């Protein structure tokens, strides 16, 4: 069942289309998600940088004797060159991904340079040590810039990192921007400011959910549409197949397959199939007629020969030996004609032997009464025996219908880029009516049905002559001779 399902063109087309669309959707969806995430992270970074630079601007204009403070709803840190936390957001409870994970600022020096409370300063130093003021958990890229800044100047270089922070009991992911600022009396300070990535995460999650739900539905629609479209497109093919199966079962070659009115490849297939059926029907009918004609032609000489032999067996003195020999010769000639026709129908190649057509015409006409020959030397290629048989049949036919004379001419004609050898056999008989000039080349056709078979033959000579001419790349035609009789003209390609 599985092999049958995937063995159909419709199933394979549907599966292929679905797979192609699925791959395209996965690639496009991945690209969309990455682009969306990149854009949203970029927006968060821009917002974080804006906050960091705003804080850095406030710090740059803060007098040296005034303590630093940060008034911002997002996680913000201000650290000095020794990574000591100087200021931070009030609600900041935990942070990572920056230069330091400290969340409580250390006491800052008094304007005179001494600590306001030596005990508090010592405690602050201990707190700084305990909270990891060294900043090992953060990204140190902010110190990679070796810019020389003037007091009050903010660095143009911004470093971005990702991390987390806890504000007022809520933990979120953040995009942090680090900006350096030179502050008079405090040295180079680094401002870390974060922007939440919740919007990015929510958007990516929403887009991924939509894709996970929508892609299977879209693939189902593609599969269904492809199945229906291919079914409609292949319906004429199924009609052709079923009709061909019916023709095979019934052996009725007169039937034809339906031709769709689409003017496409399927319609051309149907037309070609009908042409093939017509040619096959013609061939079968011709074969049937040939078999029937052969049976009819063989019946008479065999029956005559049998009668003569039976009479001779019963009454030897009444045996017509001459008649028996004639019937035997006639059977032998008919068998030879049938064998040659069978070989021609089988597509036997004529060969490529070169010979002189003029010399062959003179040889075939030699010893015939009332036959004159005017033959040039013209070389042709093919089967000398088959071409000789053509000349023999044409001379036999001409002598059979001529009143007194038969003329044979052989000449060479140039036509275009090639040359032809032309053999003309003319008689002074009654000729062939224009309506019968093609019919006489059919097998077993005799125009004078009242004529005896001994005189007229079996009606295969001219059919064999034309078949041989065609197999040699030539033609055989008949027209009216100048003397009023028939003029048969054999044209064969001249050998170079």
User: From CA 461, how far away is CA 287, in angstroms rounded?
Assistant: 18
Structure confidence at residue 448 (pLDDT): 59
Task: Count the alpha carbons within 13 Å of 158 in the hemisphere toward its beta carbon.
Answer: 19
Per the structure block, which two tokens stand in for 55? 């804080």
Nearest 10 degrees: CA dihedral of 33, 39, 44, 47? -160
User: From CA 8, how far away is CA 48, in angstroms rounded?
Assistant: 59
Q: Which residues of the chain have pLDDT under 70?
A: 1-7, 107-147, 416-417, 447-458
SS (H, E, C) 376-397: CCCEEEECHHHHHHHHHHHHHH
Per the structure block, which two tokens stand in for 160? 């971005």
- H-type alpha helices, 70-193: 118-130
Enumerate long-range contacts of 257-261, CB under 8 Å, 24 or more apart.
Answer: 260/236
Structure confidence at residue 143 (pLDDT): 45
- H-type alpha helices, 67-171: 118-130
Cβ(485)–Cβ(462) below 8 Å: no
Cβ(44)–Cβ(197) below 8 Å: yes
Cβ(107)–Cβ(85) below 8 Å: no
- Tell me phi and psi for residue 478, to 5 degrees: -135, 140
DSSP string, 449-466: TTS-HHHH--S-HHHHHH
Structure confidence at residue 151 (pLDDT): 82
**φ/ψ bin of 169: left (φ > 0), alpha (ψ from -120 to 50), beta (otherwise):** left
The total of other beta-carbon atoms located within 10 Å of residue 157's CB is 14
pLDDT digits (tens, 9 = 90+) for 6-40: 557 888 888 999 999 999 999 999 999 999 989 99
Per the structure block, which two tokens stand in for 49? 């940088």
Structure confidence at residue 108 (pLDDT): 60
Q: Are strands 154-167 and 92-96 parallel, antiparallel or unpaired?
A: antiparallel
User: From CA 381, how far away is CA 492, in angstroms rounded?
Assistant: 9
| 355 exposure class (CB count in 10 Å sphere: 0-12, 13-18, 19+) | middle
- In which element (H, E) is residue 427 found? strand 418-427
Cα–Cα separations (whole angstroms), residue 220 to 19, 173, 223: 11, 37, 5
pLDDT digits (tens, 9 = 90+) for 325-368: 887 887 888 888 888 888 887 777 787 889 999 999 999 999 99
User: From CA 421, how far away is CA 409, in angstroms rounded?
Assistant: 11
Sheet holding 486-493, edge to edge: 371-375, 406-415, 418-427, 486-493, 475-480
Q: Angle between the 384-401 and 357-365 helix axes, to the nearest 10 degrees?
A: 40
> Which domains does the chain possess?
2-37+203-243 (no CATH), 61-198 (no CATH), 265-345 (1.10.287.130), 353-493 (3.30.565.10)
- In which element (H, E) is residue 163 found? strand 154-167
User: From CA 384, how far away is CA 358, in angstroms rounded?
Assistant: 12
Cβ(41)–Cβ(198) below 8 Å: no
Cα–Cα separations (whole angstroms), residue 203 to 35, 207, 357: 12, 6, 93
- In which element (H, E) is residue 292 found? helix 265-314
């Amino acid at each position: 069942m599985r092999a049958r399902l995937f063995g159909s063109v419709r199933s394979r087309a549907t599966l292929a289309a679905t797979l192609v669309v699925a791959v395209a959707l996965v690639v496009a969806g991945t690209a969309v998600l990455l682009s969306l995430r990149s854009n949203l992270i970029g927006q968060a970074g821009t917002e974080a940088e804006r906050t960091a630079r705003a804080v850095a601007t406030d710090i740059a204009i803060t007098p040296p004797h005034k303590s630093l403070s940060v008034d911002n709803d997002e996680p913000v840190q201000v650290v000095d060159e020794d990574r000591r936390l100087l200021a931070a957001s009030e609600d900041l409870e935990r942070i990572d991904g920056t230069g330091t994970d400290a969340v409580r600022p250390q006491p800052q020096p008094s304007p005179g340079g001494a600590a306001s409370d030596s005990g508090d300063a010592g405690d602050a130093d201990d707190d700084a040590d305990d909270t990891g003021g060294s900043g090992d958990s953060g990204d140190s890229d902010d110190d990679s810039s070796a810019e020389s800044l003037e007091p009050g100047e903010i660095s143009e270089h911004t470093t971005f990192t990702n991390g987390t922070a806890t504000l007022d009991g809520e933990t979120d992911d953040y995009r942090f921007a680090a900006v350096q600022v030179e502050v008079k009396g405090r040295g180079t300070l680094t401002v870390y400011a974060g922007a939440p990535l919740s919007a990015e995460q929510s958007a990516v999650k929403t887009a991924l959910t939509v894709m996970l739900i929508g892609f299977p539905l879209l693939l189902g629609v593609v599969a269904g549409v492809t199945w229906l479209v291919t079914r409609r497109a292949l319906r004429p093919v199924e009609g052709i197949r079923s009709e061909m199966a019916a023709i095979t079962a019934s052996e009725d070659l007169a039937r034809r397959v339906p031709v769709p009115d689409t003017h496409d490849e399927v319609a051309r297939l149907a037309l070609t199939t009908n042409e093939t059926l017509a040619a096959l029907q013609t061939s079968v009918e011709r074969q049937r007629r040939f078999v029937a004609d052969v049976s009819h032609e063989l019946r008479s000489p065999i029956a005559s020969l049998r009668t003569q032999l039976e009479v001779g067996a019963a009454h030897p003195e009444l045996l017509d030996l001459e008649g028996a020999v004639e019937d035997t010769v006639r059977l032998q000639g008919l068998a030879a004609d049938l064998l040659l026709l069978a070989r021609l129908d089988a597509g036997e190649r004529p060969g490529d032997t070169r010979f002189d057509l003029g010399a062959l015409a003179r040889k075939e006409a030699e010893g015939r009464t009332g036959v004159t020959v005017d033959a040039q030397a013209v070389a042709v290629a093919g089967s000398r025996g088959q071409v000789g048989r053509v000349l023999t049949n044409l001379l036999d036919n001409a002598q059979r219908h001529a009143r007194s004379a038969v003329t044979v001419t052989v000449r060479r004609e140039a036509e275009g880029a090639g040359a032809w050898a032309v053999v003309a056999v003319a008689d002074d008989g009654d000729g062939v009516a224009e309506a019968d000039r093609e019919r006489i080349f059919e097998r077993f056709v005799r125009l004078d049905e009242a004529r005896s078979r001994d005189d007229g033959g079996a009606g295969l000579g001219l059919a064999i002559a034309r078949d041989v001419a065609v197999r040699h790349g030539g033609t055989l035609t008949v027209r009216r001779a100048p003397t009023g009789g028939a003029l048969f003209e054999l044209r064969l390609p001249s050998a170079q």
